[in-house]
């Protein structure tokens, strides 16, 4: 639920920023090589920031899409407003659906706790088996604990931002 709210805001701001950046870029009438380079950098940013900062991902995805549209049809100026409008409509629908079909974080806590316990057990085995495991196996076990702990922590943080209605089920 809270992730839907956060991503809604990030998507609208990111898309608007990406549209503005692309409009400024295309207004300068850059050569094809600059457009291709900008598209390459933006596509790299889409993949890089997906799990880190969704706002950057949305901005970069807008840049890629709008440059591609420009390359296919250089006179398609309506694409900027249409992309922002589509994003706002989609964000509104996601917001409404988050109340109709909510996915409450507390429901997933038992599974996340189970995964954390299993990851801790694997890490403990790797630590106690000192010379019997490779350094790579040890590092992977430690990474598994840190990843599981981060997932649980993220779920708990998102759960704190959910509404606290007594009828929530």
pLDDT band (50, 70, 90) for residue 108: confident
**What pLDDT is recorded for position 46?**
92
pLDDT for 36-60, tens place per residue? 999 999 999 999 988 889 999 999 9
pTM higher than 0.75, yes or no?
no
Compute CA 86 distance to the chain's CA centroid, rounded to the nearest angstrom: 19
Q: What are phi and psi of 77, to 5 degrees?
A: -80, -20
Check: CB of residue 15 under 8 Å from CB of residue 83: yes
Q: How do residues 54-63 score in pLDDT, each as one tens digit? A: 999 999 999 9
Cα distances (angstroms) measured from residue 52 to each of 10, 49, 104 = 12, 5, 22
CB 126 within 8 Å of CB 137: yes
The answer to which of 46-50, 64-68, 142-146, 156-160 has the lowest mean pLDDT is 156-160
**Confidence at residue 166, expressed as pLDDT on a 0 to 100 scale:** 44
Determine phi and psi for 29, rounding to 5 degrees.
50, 60
For residue 28 the two structure tokens come to: 């300068």
């Amino acid at each position: 639920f809270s992730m839907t709210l956060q991503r809604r805001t990030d998507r609208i701001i990111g898309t608007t920023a990406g549209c503005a950046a692309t409009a400024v870029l295309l207004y300068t009438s850059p050569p094809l090589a600059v457009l291709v380079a900008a598209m390459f950098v933006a596509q790299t940013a889409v993949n890089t920031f997906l799990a880190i900062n969704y706002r950057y991902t949305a901005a970069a995805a807008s840049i890629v899409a709008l440059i591609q549209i420009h390359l296919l049809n250089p006179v398609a100026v309506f694409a900027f407003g249409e992309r922002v409008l589509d994003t706002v409509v989609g964000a509104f629908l996601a917001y409404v659906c988050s109340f109709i079909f909510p996915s409450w974080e507390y429901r997933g806590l038992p599974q996340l706790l189970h995964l954390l316990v299993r990851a801790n057990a694997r890490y403990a085995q790797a630590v106690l088996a000192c010379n019997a495991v490779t350094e790579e196996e040890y590092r992977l076990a430690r990474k598994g604990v840190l990843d599981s702990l981060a997932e649980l922590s993220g779920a708990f943080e998102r759960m704190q931002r959910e509404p606290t209605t007594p009828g929530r089920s």
